[in-house]
Chains A and B, each alone.
Chain A
Amino acid sequence: MFFLAVMFALYWAFPDRHRKTLLLIGSYVFYMTWKAEYGLLILALTVINFFIGRQIDKQTAGEKRKQILILGLVFNLACLCFFKYANFLIDSLYQCLALGKHVYGFAHFSNSDFSSPALNIILPLGISFFTFEFIHYIVDVYRGSKPVKNFTDFALFASFFPSQIAGPIKRFQDFMHQLEEKPVFKNDLFGEGVFLIMQGFFKKVVLGDNMGAIVALGFNHVANLPLADAWLATAGFTFQIFFDFSGYTDIGRGSALLFGYKVPENFNLPFLAANLTDFWRRWHISLSTWLRDYLFIPMGGNRVAAWKVRRNVFLTMVLGGLWHGAAWHYVIWGAFHGSGLVLSKEWQDLVSKNKTLAALRPSPLWHFSGLALTMFFLFLAGILFRATDLPQALAMAARLLGIGTVGISGAVLESFQRSTLVLTLPLYTLFVVLRSKKAHEFFNASSLTVIKDVWQNSFALRLSACAAVAVIIAGFAPGQLSPFIYFQF
């Protein structure tokens, strides 16, 4: 926050023509305070992708353009694989060899041959995000978009600090368009930015981190977990990750707005989704649209035979799972979501063909059943995401079914009941409801206008509200803050 405040003051104090350069330098400083040498990595990737983009654009021959694109894709993916997946691949290979020894009895291997030699690689922060932005850039240039001419602009697109570490994954066309305009300080953007930052911190610190402590209590004692505790820990994680990630996105979007830039939205009330397809339209939108545009559609998308569409959906989600983390439980998480999406599609097809089911579809009961089922699916998928390994995930799934549980409720439920969440969760829900479109329609429009007018005309009221929210965030924060979950990806 200190860095953001300094950058904000400098940015608007600097003359127009130097602001982009300042933002670029600030973004690199921000990144390099974590690990200076990895600043060079982003710089190298930026230079190479900038060059690749220009080369693709220069070529008139389709084959040549394709070759350069493939070269660019291989380069970006190789970088990602090296930093993110090298140890995972080596470890998986050694596990396969160990399994081979166990099954086929490769006598000439000693036990020590199967201890995986891990490489000493530190995962660069945000590599999954900026690599996807680079891939999007070169693919779109190949598809006909005009490449970026100004290197500073391109470098800023790749390193823009509000979205540098965990997205949202930007589209260069949107971002470049904003860079071309002269930055003008606008009160409404500033106000919206501060509001989003506050909302983000509230979600992350007050809701996410407090929920995280309860979830951790459950997952750390999975061996003898009571039934209600298992359910609470599992459900809690689904909400924790939402508050954590959408909180980060709000802070990032809000910070960008303070400099006059808009970055894409990532969430749209995902827990109101009545089926999985709808969920992925509302959850991590910048990733799901990326996966759609650069993975699902190139594989054939919906314009192929029905079984191929299912295969494409499944593979896209498996790769989406692998993108999240270099571990098998993430791959299985992706496969689980892929299977869910395929089943959801089959079900929708069945419903549209069956007249009785189709007639039931508009009923509220149908809708709420869909909500509950989707939520249940997300809880189960969340176990795969949260567990440190597969045995822990399986143990937690067993506790949910009442296998190996010790009693009905225990420390997790007690901890939840005693936490501030019993107050802050309903408050946040009320806030979401009041901000919804339906609430606007429901309430008398004139009284809403009065409230809105008072809010907009009173600087003192806005200042007091900001101060109050800041105090609430500080006061309700747990003793130990945890890093953003998506920073690890």
Chain B
Amino acid sequence: MKSKIIEREDLGNEREALDLAAPAVQTGTDDRALKSAKSGKSGKSLSRIVVELAVLLPLTIFGLECLLSAAGVGQQEILQPDPELGCVHIPGKKVTWRLEGFSRDAFSSAGLRDGEHLLNKPKGCYRIALLGDSATEGLQVDMAQTFSRQLDGALAKTFSKKGVSYFEAMNFGCSSYSTGQELLQFKKQVAQYKPDLTIVLLCYGDTLENTLDLSNRAHAEPKPYFYIDAQGKLAQDSSVLLASADKLVPNPLVDFLRSKSCLYGVWTQLNFNWNLTDKLYFRSMRFFQEVGRRMQGKARAIEAPVYAQQDKLKVTQALVTAFNDTAKENGGKFALTLFPDVLAREAGWQYDMRQLKAQGAAEHFDVIDLNPPFRSHWNPSSLFLQYHFSKEGHALVADTLTQYVKSTLADR
């Protein structure tokens, strides 16, 4: 039955096509006249399409921006290039995070995953600056559930100390940061807020990312790296940053799109996914980027410092020492928090933690070990999503830090 219907439909179309051709043959229309009529028609229709597109394109873009914004799609872009730190949060950016967990809020005007804070510390305020990577940033949970916000709330409710009228916990956490970047961030941004206590959450990955893998310099992520020089002093390797300087300079149009456009966010997300999953796409993009760079003649030789392959832990320890000194010079106290390894699977991290605790004792800074509270929790798996803290995990970190701040102030 179906085949018969198809047959009839197709025959109908065929007949229609033949009928349309018939008058031209029967009336003997002049070919040239027909051609000029056709070209006139096609010219008109082309200009009509262009005019219609000129009207429809902005409408479509506007409609899409509204829809994507309402759905929180294309709002996962959180970083913009920075010539000193490699990247920083986009100030005031509305973010809808779905990669792991969920959150939907906006960065502050200073680019913090936090509410607004005054630059000048009010009298009687005890400021706690929390630095770290994505674990501190906490995009996987609502802002109110991050340990920074919970610490703020818990201290305000439960504790009052002579000379302290209120507490302010500030979340400076930023995805992808390692200890070296956090130290630079402290000098560039955090120090201005004059924190009384600076707590850095250190993860295993940080110790690996502070130094440059010398065999992979050409493909290294553009950010500051650190090393111990021949005199045994901590030094900064900015060669990768300088080599990518052209990518890190502000571009008003791109910065605007990155900050405001969901469509741009969709594109960057697609580009990222395709680069990860499609080898052909990845190689093509690399090829075109290389061609573009050569055509612009921007390939320039950067003088890179020469040093041996580094002991990653030693570099991290040197950075922590520098952090402790800098925080003290800024009039505050420094403390290090160690990311928990609940199942004790990371032998390297277990060793590093022991060394960092010993360093804390020797250099007189506090080390807050999150392992005991996490391991003694009745359901440790509920404290994490995939890699990051769940809301329960953030609550436990906040609880541990609250106890620490209480004891610190009680000793004061």
Contact = CB atoms under 8 A, between A and B. Distances in A.
Contact of B3 (A173, A463, A474): A173
A388 interface: no
**Which size class do B's interface residues fall under?**
35 or more
B56 A423 contact: no
A441 interface: no
B410 interface: no
B6 A475 contact: no
Interface string B237-268: 00000000000000000000000001100100
A471 B64 contact: yes
Nearest to A189: B13
A264 interface: yes
Given A460-B56, A468-B60, A423 B49 contact: no
B73 A186 contact: no
A181 B6 CA distance: 12
B229 interface: no
Given A460-B53, A464-B57, A177 B6 contact: yes
A471 B266 contact: yes
Contact of B102 (A186, A418, A459): A418
B60 A464 contact: yes
A468 B63 contact: yes
Contact of B52 (A262, A458, A472): A458
A163 to B, nearest CB: 15
Interface in B254-313: 262-263, 266, 269-270, 273
Contacts of A420: 71-73
A458 B52 CA distance: 8
A423 B13 contact: no
B11 to A, nearest CB: 10
B60 A423 contact: no
A479 interface: yes
Contacts of A173: 3
Nearest to B72: A420
Interface string A149-182: 0000000000000000000000101100110010
Interface residues of A, number: 30
B74 A475 contact: yes
Interface in A440-471: 458-461, 463-464, 467-468, 471
B70 interface: yes
A181 B10 contact: yes
Nearest to B270: A474
Interface string A336-369: 0000000000000000000000000000000000
A476 interface: yes
B99 interface: yes
A262 B52 CA distance: 32
B67 interface: yes
Contacts of B266: 471, 474-475
Interface in B362-410: none
A177 B53 contact: no
Contacts of A474: 266, 270
Main secondary structure of the interface of B (DSSP, over half): helix
Contacts of B99: 479
Contacts of B60: 464, 467-468
Contact of B13 (A178, A186, A461): A186
A96 B152 CA distance: 63
B2 A475 contact: no
Contacts of A478: 98
Interface in B17-68: 17, 45, 48-49, 52-53, 56-57, 59-60, 63-64, 67-68
Contacts of A472: 64, 67
A461 B63 CA distance: 14
Nearest to B74: A475
Contact of A178 (B6, B53, B68): B6
Contacts of B53: 460, 463-464
A460 B98 contact: no
A264 B64 contact: no
B222 to A, nearest CB: 25
A380 B273 CA distance: 36
B28 to A, nearest CB: 26
Contacts of B102: 415, 418
A146 to B, nearest CB: 13
B50 to A, nearest CB: 8
Nearest to A460: B52
A468 B53 CA distance: 13
A177 B63 CA distance: 44
Interface in A403-419: 415, 418
Nearest to A182: B14
A267 B68 CA distance: 30
Nearest to B100: A479
A400 B74 CA distance: 36
A262 B266 CA distance: 34
A84 B326 CA distance: 67
Contacts of A458: 52
Which among B6, B14, B45, B59 has the greatest number of chain A C-beta atoms within 10 A?
A: B6
A479 B49 contact: no
B7 interface: yes
A461 B67 contact: no
B369 to A, nearest CB: 29
B64 A177 contact: no
A184 B104 CA distance: 51
Given A420-B71, A420-B73, A475 B52 contact: no
7 contacts: A184-B14, A420-B72, A423-B71, A459-B45, A460-B56, A475-B262, A478-B98
Given A420-B72, A464-B60, A468-B60, 14 more contacts: A171-B3, A174-B6, A177-B3, A184-B14, A418-B102, A423-B70, A459-B45, A459-B52, A464-B57, A467-B60, A471-B64, A472-B67, A475-B266, A476-B73
A-B pairs with lowest CB-CB distance, top 5: A460-B52, A475-B266, A464-B56, A475-B73, A418-B102
